Amino acid sequence: MTPVPKTQYGFVYNTTSGLQLNESLPIPTLKPGQLLLKVEAAGLCHSDLHILYEGLYCGDNYVMGHEIAGTVIKTEQDEAGAYKIGDRVACFGANGCGNCEFCRKGNDNDCPNAFYNWFGLGSDGGYQQYLLVKNPRNLVKIPDNVDFAEAAAITDAALTPYHAIKLAKVNPLTNLLIIGAGGLGTNAIQIARTFGAQITVLDKKQKALDIVKKLDPELKAYTELPEDLAKGSFDVILDLVGAQQTFELSEKYVKSKGIIVPVGLGASKLTFDLSNLALREISLLGSFWGTSQDLVECLELARQGKIKPQLHTISLKELPKAIEQLRNGQYEGRTVLIP
Ligand code: NAD
Ligand code: ZN
Ligand code: ZN
C-alpha cells in the first residue's frame, strides 16, 4: 500500500457557516471493499453556486466538489473488485447503491439510496486531496488519452447534457436549441453534434459564444435569438440556465409536440403557461446528471476525440477565487481545480 498522510486539506460546506478551508481533515481508514483516491482534478460546477448562495439544498457538512477524477492509491487487498493501485478513474457522482430497483434497471442516477449522498453533494467530494470511495462500482476507468482535468469535467459537465440529449432522443432530424454555453453547454454542443442534430446556441455572454465559434465556426450562435426567428422553431430545447426568462423563451420557441429539458437549476421554481403547454402538447422532461453507463459512453466519446471539454485549471487552494469569478461571469467553459 502507498503510504498516505493522516490529515489533508479540503473545503467543507456547512449550511450555517458556508464553505471553509480545513487544513486538518482526517484521511479515513478503509473498510473491506473500500478504496482511497488521490484526487487529481475536481471541476467547479454552477450548481455549487446555487448551493452556496441561492439556497439549493443538497445535504449538510461535507466536502464539496462533485466532478472528480483521481488515482487509486490504496485498496483493502483483493476486496476492491476491478480496481488496483495506480488506476486512473473518474467518479460516478450520483453514487448509486447498485442493488436497488433503479440501479438494477440501469437508472443509477435516480438511486433513492444515494439521495443527498452524492459525491460532493451531501457526501464528501473532490475539493480535498484524498477521497474515500465506499462503493467502487461508482468508478469508471479513464482512457489513457484523456487527462484528469478532462475526465473530471466529463463526469458532470459532459455527462449531464449527454443524458439529457439521450432522454430527448435527439437525432439528425432534431432542430435543437441549447441555451447556455458554459461548462455544460460547450460539451452539449459537441455531444449534440455527434448525435447529428441541427444546433442553435444562445448565450447572453459574447465570450461564451467566441469559444463556441472556435468549436464550430459554422454554428448558429447568438446572444439574442434573431427577431425573424419563427415561434415554434425547435423540436428540442436544452435549457442549461433554468431561469424563468429562459423557460418562457423555451415555451415560445419550442415546436408543438416538442420537448423542453430544463437542466439548469437557475430558479428554485418555474411557472409555465398551462394552456400553451397543454394545447400544443409540449413535453417537459426532467433530467438529472447521468447514469454510470452514460459516463462510460462519454469517456469513450472523449477517447475518440468527439468530446473535448473546454476548460482551464487552477490550484484547489484558489477555489474561493474561482467561485468569485464564476459568480461574476469571468470564466469560459469549465474551471477545474487541481489539489
Ligand atoms: P455555467 O455558469 O458554466 O454556464 C452557464 C451559461 O449560461 C453561461 O455561459 C452564461 O453566460 C449563460 N447564461 C446565464 N444566464 C443566461 C440567460 N438568461 N440567457 C442566456 N444565457 C445565459 O453553468 P454550468 O456549470 O454549465 O451549469 C448550468 C446549469 O446546469 C446550472 O444551473 C447548474 O446548476 C445546472 N446543472 C444541472 C444538472 C442536472 O443534473 N440537472 C447537472 C449539472 C448542472
Ligand atoms: Zn454539477
Ligand atoms: Zn440504487
* Cα–Cα dist 27/20, whole Å: 17
Ligand positioned closest to the Cα atom of 103: 3
User: Is 184 touching ligand 1 by the criterion CB < 6 Å?
Assistant: yes
* Cα–Cα dist 35/326, whole Å: 32
What is the reported pLDDT for 77? 66
Instruction: Count other Cβ atoms within 10 Å, centred on residue 18.
Output: 11
Q: List, for residues 229-269, the tens digit of each pLDDT value.
A: 999 999 999 999 999 999 999 999 999 999 999 999 999 99
Asked if residue 264 lies in contact with residue 244, where contact means CB atoms within 8 angstroms, the answer is: no
Residues 73-92, mean pLDDT to the nearest whole number: 83
User: Is 287 touching ligand 1 by the criterion CB < 6 Å?
Assistant: yes
Ligand positioned closest to the Cα atom of 112: 3
**Mean pLDDT (the chain, rounded):** 96
Q: What percent of the chain has pLDDT over 90?
A: 94
Q: Which residue's CA lies nearest to atom 31 of ligand 1?
A: 264
3-class DSSP assignment, residue 19 = strand
What is the reported pLDDT for 179? 98
Asked if residue 26 lies in contact with residue 20, where contact means CB atoms within 8 angstroms, the answer is: no
- In sequence order, the 6+-apart residues with CB closer than 8 A to the CB of 90 are 68, 69, 139, 140, 141, 142, 151, 152, 154, 155, 295, 299
Ligand positioned closest to the Cα atom of 207: 1
Burial class (CB in 10 A: 0-12, 13-18, 19+), 222: middle
Asked if residue 239 lies in contact with residue 178, where contact means CB atoms within 8 angstroms, the answer is: no
CATH topology of domain 7-157+289-338: Quinone Oxidoreductase; Chain A, domain 1 (3.90.180)
Is the CA virtual torsion 174, 260, 158, 205 positive or negative? positive
The H or E element spanning position 45 is none
User: Is 212 touching ligand 1 by the criterion CB < 6 Å?
Assistant: no
Q: Which CATH superfamily is domain 169-284 in?
A: NAD(P)-binding Rossmann-like Domain (3.40.50.720)
Instruction: Count other Cβ atoms within 10 Å, centred on residue 146.
Output: 23
User: Is 9 touching ligand 1 by the criterion CB < 6 Å?
Assistant: no
Supply angle C-alpha 98, 99, 102, rounded to 5: 80
* Cα–Cα dist 81/139, whole Å: 11
Asked if the model's pLDDT at residue 158 lies above 80, the reply is: yes
Asked if the model's pLDDT at residue 3 lies above 90, the reply is: no
Q: Which residue's CA lies nearest to atom 9 of ligand 1?
A: 182
Asked if the model's pLDDT at residue 209 lies above 60, the reply is: yes
* Cα–Cα dist 130/6, whole Å: 10
Ligand 1 closest atom vs CA 163: 40
Asked if residue 47 lies in contact with residue 94, where contact means CB atoms within 8 angstroms, the answer is: no
Domain boundaries along the sequence of the chain? 7-157+289-338, 169-284
Is the CA virtual torsion 97, 98, 103, 106 positive or negative? positive
Ligand 1 closest atom vs CA 185: 26
What is the reported pLDDT for 78? 56
How much is the ipTM here?
0.99
Among the ranges given (1-10, 98-107, 164-173, 303-312), the one the predictor scored with the smallest mean pLDDT: 1-10
As residues whose CB is below 5 A from the ion ligand 3, the structure lists: 96-97, 100, 103, 111, 113
Asked if residue 244 lies in contact with residue 269, where contact means CB atoms within 8 angstroms, the answer is: no
What is the reported pLDDT for 75? 85
What is the reported pLDDT for 82? 82
Q: List, for residues 285-322, the tens digit of each pLDDT value.
A: 999 999 999 999 999 999 999 999 999 999 999 999 99
